Structure 1
């Protein structure tokens, strides 16, 4: 019996040892599994961090001193969206503003935007009723950007870095022009400019300028080169041959870093002998660097373009306009785009309100127009088009514009030698305005009969 008890005790001890070995083995296995899981997690985390670092490295040039801003502006009737890209430091800010074509600041475009981690930025503005130039510029008011680009952006480089009115202070900017008469929606590319080499005598007091001009039916576009220093303001007011200014037809700009300049001038009619005096005038230039070169009164200016005005001097380039050999009546518009010429007759010269029968005095206008049409070569293509404002029903306006265009053509062919011309007559109602219908002045301009000579394809 005693022997049996000893055997049972030994068996229990052996069984206990076996159980402990199993538990220990199981615990060790679990520990190894946890360790492997932790290692896998660590490896995964390291991989994710590496991928993040790689993605960041794939964004080239963030924070480079050679700054680049580009993108696009999407123009629609009720909103304007700017989608931009840059290599600015993330967190940098841009400020926007706008100046309408009539020279007034627009509250619509006062806003700010922050540069995202990938260098992108965006603005959204409400719709705009007037054609406007919009400027986006870097705001250097953070410690990180000041350290990188300098307090006055003096460390920044590239074609989008410009002088300002204060010596040693710079700005980084882009600009684009919104034309509200363009068919919407449309997109404006925002591009990095490519400047030419500066002239050898850039910034010297002996000033020279050259300029060319082209046009569409709304603007004259002046493209110039010079040795004027960057920031000098140039421009002028369109003039009649008699020396009288053409109202509301003016434009100014500042000279680019390479001495070039461009500006647009709105116009409604051209006449023989018109010209544009492009001036650099000291009283329009208060920039410190410009004054240092040319003098407060222009006293340092030299060269064939220099004119005297009392105690002051200014530089002036006369650009004569190439106007077709037409002499339309005083109140009739004449506009040009390449070979296409438009003679625009306001409806109140021809018709009574809401009527398509020519007024007796309309013949005075149309007789002068006949003289111009008879100068054209046989088989010249012309269109006679009627237009209205947007007051009233569209279908009614369309019909009225067709009747008025036909009334004009009936008079021309009965009273002039124009049978050799290739003529098309059409009414467009309110569909092709040349001015905003938001005010009476614009509505008056939109109510018209146009004679289009050498119409461009697609008109």
Structure 2
């Protein structure tokens, strides 16, 4: 009998132990959850005190878009763009630029001024993100317009870059594209942007390139030539703007003549832009009397003014393909000629 009671007691004891073990896995409710929260808050306070004790504190942050990724989004696209800023500093001009050109593309920077002949040029290679930096010598010229060109020429690139844009830029497109032609008739598409500024003695300036915007007319390249002329002036120059349908790179000559005055040097020639426009600057004859006449002559002569093979082929070596009311016949050649009397 005693042995039976002993076995029953052991069974009750086992049931109690199992019940206690299973109860440890059940959800904690009521006052136990409050106690756990208080423990966490105490732990956070201790962590902060330890950070401060080591001279450190928590830094808040938020996630932002990868700006470099935005720049690289169109890298390698055939519609190439280039932007550059310039800063005069001491004897140098510091150049910083960005582009969507592929890495290791070679860019050339050249400074030009109509009144001076000086050698100011440099080059740079693009980084992985298309950016570039360079330095250019700063010439001691003042109070004249200086233009800095930044250009990318595919024919001067390595094989990897040419594989993207073509050996002669055949794949390039967009507003930054200009046509360049050799005397042998090889046509290359180049990327170019420029900035024009006027240096001031004793003053450092900052300036930047601007995006070209071309509005190619519907009659672009027609043989019936059209020229719409606008002339502005200041104390030093006439600024002549011509909107035409002439082909890009056609050379247009502008010349001032004064019937009652003998003067030289009032002549300039410029190339037509991709949309048929051209801008030409001529100096003003400062001692011209109010009652003396001044005439502006605009001339297109295919056989002269360094016109390229494609221009000669399109308009004829002697201008024989020209049509329209602007055609004149001078020295056995057909030329385009517009004569305007300036007021």
| Structure 1 length-normalised TM | 0.54
Summarize the alignment of residues 35-434 of structure 1 with structure 2, pairs less than 5 Å apart. Answer: 57-59=69-71, 60-75=73-88, 78-102=91-115, 104=117, 106-109=118-121, 111-130=122-141, 131=144, 132-140=146-154, 141-165=157-181, 166-180=185-199, 184-196=203-215, 198-242=216-260, 244=262, 246-267=263-284, 269=286, 271=288, 272-282=292-302, 283-322=304-343
Question: CA separation of 1:114/1:214 partners in 2, compared to 1, >3 Å: closer, same or farther?
Answer: same
CA distance in 2, matches of 1:296, 1:289: 10
Aligned residue in 1 for 2:20: none
Q: 1:167 deviation in Å? A: 4.6
> Quick check: 1:223–1:263 contact (8 Å CA) kept in 2?
yes
What displacement does 1:227 show?
0.9
Partner secondary structure for residue 297 of structure 1? coil
| Structure with larger Rg | 2
- Indicate the residue corresponding to 1:32 in structure 2: none
CA distance in 1, matches of 2:186, 2:261: 38
CA root-mean-square deviation = 2.5
State the 1:73 CA deviation. Answer: 2.5
Deviations 1:258-288 (A, max 9, x none): 1111122233516342122122121114322
More helix by proportion, 1 or 2? 1
Q: TM-score, normalised by structure 2?
A: 0.70
Give deviations 1:278-325, integer Å, cap 9, x for gaps: 221211143222112111121211222122222222212223323xxx
Deviations 1:349-403 (A, max 9, x none): xxxxxxxxxxxxxxxxxxxxxxxxxxxxxxxxxxxxxxxxxxxxxxxxxxxxxxx
More divergent stretch after superposition (234-243 vs 308-317): 234-243
More contact order relative to length (CA 8 Å, sep ≥ 6): 2
> How far is the alpha carbon of 1:113 from its aligned partner?
0.8
Q: Does the Cα contact within 8 Å between 2:252 and 2:299 map onto a contact in 1?
A: yes
Please give the alpha-carbon distance, in whole angstroms, between the structure 2 residues aligned to 1:55 and 1:178.
30
How big is the shift at 1:117? 2.0
Q: How many residues align?
A: 267
Deviation, structure 1 residue 77: 6.6
Q: Measure, in 2, the Cα distance between the counterparts of 1:143 and 1:205.
A: 39
**Superposed displacement of residue 200, structure 1:** 2.4
